[in-house]
Structure 1
Amino acid sequence: MIEIKDIHKSFDDNYVLKGISGVFQDGMNNLIIGGSGSGKTTLLKCMVGLHTPDQGSVIYDGRDFTKMNTEERIEIRKEIGMLFQNSALFDSMTVEQNIMFPLDMFTTQSRAEKLERVNFCLERVNLAGKNKLFPAELSGGMKKRVGIARAISMQPKYLFVDEPNSGLDPRTAILIDELINEITDEYNITTVVVTHDMNSVMGIGEHILFLYEGLKEWEGSNKEIAHTDNQQLNDFVFASKFTQAAKDKL
């Protein structure tokens, strides 16, 4: 479980997060949603230590990440898997080398043990045998799956995913959502997904935080969204549906 308490973050005069609190549960797809500029990616970066909150706490299973020194934070980071929006693969490395990268950094496993783990992760994301390919040889969906394989290579307790469906066609986006959902359930991971994709929200949104102008405006499940009377959330939901419908007609 991850708990955030009263998270504030500003950049110069831009006050991005204005006291966000919430709980992200084990074995559950926890989604952070909101429009552009709502603060959702900034919140995710505060949670993994890429940004330092101006105020507030990020607590991993009772351990206050914000009060830790560098060495203590490294131990938490070993338990975190991260899939960035653009997959963030190293272009000069093969698929195998990309997935092995965190194992090289954080473990003392033998080469054979690391390769076994790489092959397991590739098989788990349905890319068995693609070890020697380079990112330039992969489709967008394959890059996302390699990113997921790398994110789970350290057998994380916590998985953070930033806009997993960005740049993907609808069919591939659904496959990525299904894969994230399967991995979360199979390994009982605390998964936190930042997205603006309503298909993802309705498909895998077991627990959702909706941000609006730096505030937590609503919290609930995808089953509760249709019955909310929150105006900002309704505007976001129906605007998203309208935008997707317009795209489908092109």
Structure 2
Amino acid sequence: MIEIQNIHKSFGDNHVLNGIDATFEPGKVSLIIGGSGSGKSTLLKCIVGLHEPEEGHVFFDAQEFTVMNADERVSIRREIGMLFQNSALFDSMTVEQNIVFALDMFTDMSRKEKLERANFCLDRVNLKDTNKLYPSELSGGMKKRVGIARAISMSPKYLFCDEPNSGLDPATAILIDELIQELTEEYQCTTIVVTHDMNSVMGIGDYILFLYKGMKFWEGSNKDMLQSDVQELNDFVFASPLMKAARSTIK
């Protein structure tokens, strides 16, 4: 479980986050949604320690991450899997080398064990026999799956995904969503996804945190969201005809 309390973050005079509280539970896919500039990615970076909040607390299973020094944070970071928006693969490395890179940094596995783990993770994301390919030889969806394979290589307790469907066609985006949901259930990890994709929200959103102008405006499940009377949330969610139609079916 991850708990955040009263998170504030500013860049100069720009107050990006203003007192965010939330609890993210294991075995569930939690989504952070909101318009551009609402603070979604900044909040994610505060949780994983890429940004330091000016105020507030972040707890990983009751361990306060925000007060730890760099050495103390290593044990928690070993339990974190991260899928970046652009997949963040090393272009000069093969698929296999990209996955083994994390194992080289954080484990004492033998070379054989690392390769076996890489093969297992690639098979798990349906990319068997792609070991020797380079990122330039992969489609956008395949790159995202390699990124997921690398993220799960350490059997993470916490999985973070920043706009995992960015740049993907709808069919591939659904496959990525389903994979994230399956892995969350399989590993019983605490999964947090930053997204603006309403298909993701409706498909895998066990818990939704809606940010508006750096503030927490609403939280609940995707089913609760369809019944919400919070105007700012409705303006964001039901901007598309498809979502308006979805809402009308339950009224």
CA distance in 2: counterparts of 1:231 and 1:109, whole angstroms? 52
CA distance in 2: counterparts of 1:146 and 1:220, whole angstroms? 31
User: Which amino acid counterpart does residue 228 of structure 2 have in structure 1?
Assistant: T
Name stretches of at least 5 consecutive residues in structure 2 with no aligned partner: 246-251
Deviations 1:201-227 (A, max 9, x none): 000000010000000000000011110
List structure 1 segments (4+ residues) > 3 angstroms apart after TM superposition: 240-245
Q: Is the 8 A contact 2:122 2:149 kept in 1?
A: yes
Q: Does 1:81 align with 2:81?
A: yes
Deviations 1:134-192 (A, max 9, x none): 00000000000000000000110000000000000000000000000000011101000
TM-score scaled by structure 2?
0.96
- Change over 3 Å in CA distance of 1:240–1:47 after alignment to 2: farther
CA displacement at 1:241 relative to structure 2? 4.8
CA displacement at 1:239 relative to structure 2? 1.6
Q: Provide the residue aligned with 1:206 in structure 2.
A: 206
Q: How does 1:152-163 map to 2 (within 5 A)?
A: 152-163=152-163
User: Which amino acid counterpart does residue 137 of structure 2 have in structure 1?
Assistant: E
CA distance in 2: counterparts of 1:130 and 1:142, whole angstroms? 10
Alignment size in residue pairs: 245
- Change over 3 Å in CA distance of 1:241–1:158 after alignment to 2: farther
Q: Does 1:70 align with 2:70?
A: yes
CA distance in 2: counterparts of 1:165 and 1:241, whole angstroms? 20
Q: Provide the residue aligned with 1:139 in structure 2.
A: 139
Q: Provide the residue aligned with 2:126 in structure 1.
A: 126
Q: How does 1:24-63 map to 2 (within 5 A)?
A: 24-63=24-63
CA distance in 2: counterparts of 1:241 and 1:40, whole angstroms? 24
TM-score scaled by structure 1?
0.96
CA displacement at 1:240 relative to structure 2? 4.5
Q: How does 1:173-212 map to 2 (within 5 A)?
A: 173-212=173-212
Q: Is the 8 A contact 1:197 1:240 kept in 2?
A: no
CA distance in 1: counterparts of 2:78 and 2:40, whole angstroms? 23
Q: Is the 8 A contact 2:84 2:163 kept in 1?
A: yes
CA displacement at 1:70 relative to structure 2? 1.1
RMSD: 1.3
Q: How does 1:213-232 map to 2 (within 5 A)?
A: 213-232=213-232
CA displacement at 1:112 relative to structure 2? 0.1
Local SS of the residue matching 1:6: strand
User: Which amino acid counterpart does residue 156 of structure 1 have in structure 2?
Assistant: P
User: Which amino acid counterpart does residue 219 of structure 1 have in structure 2?
Assistant: E
Name stretches of at least 5 consecutive residues in structure 1 with no aligned partner: 246-250
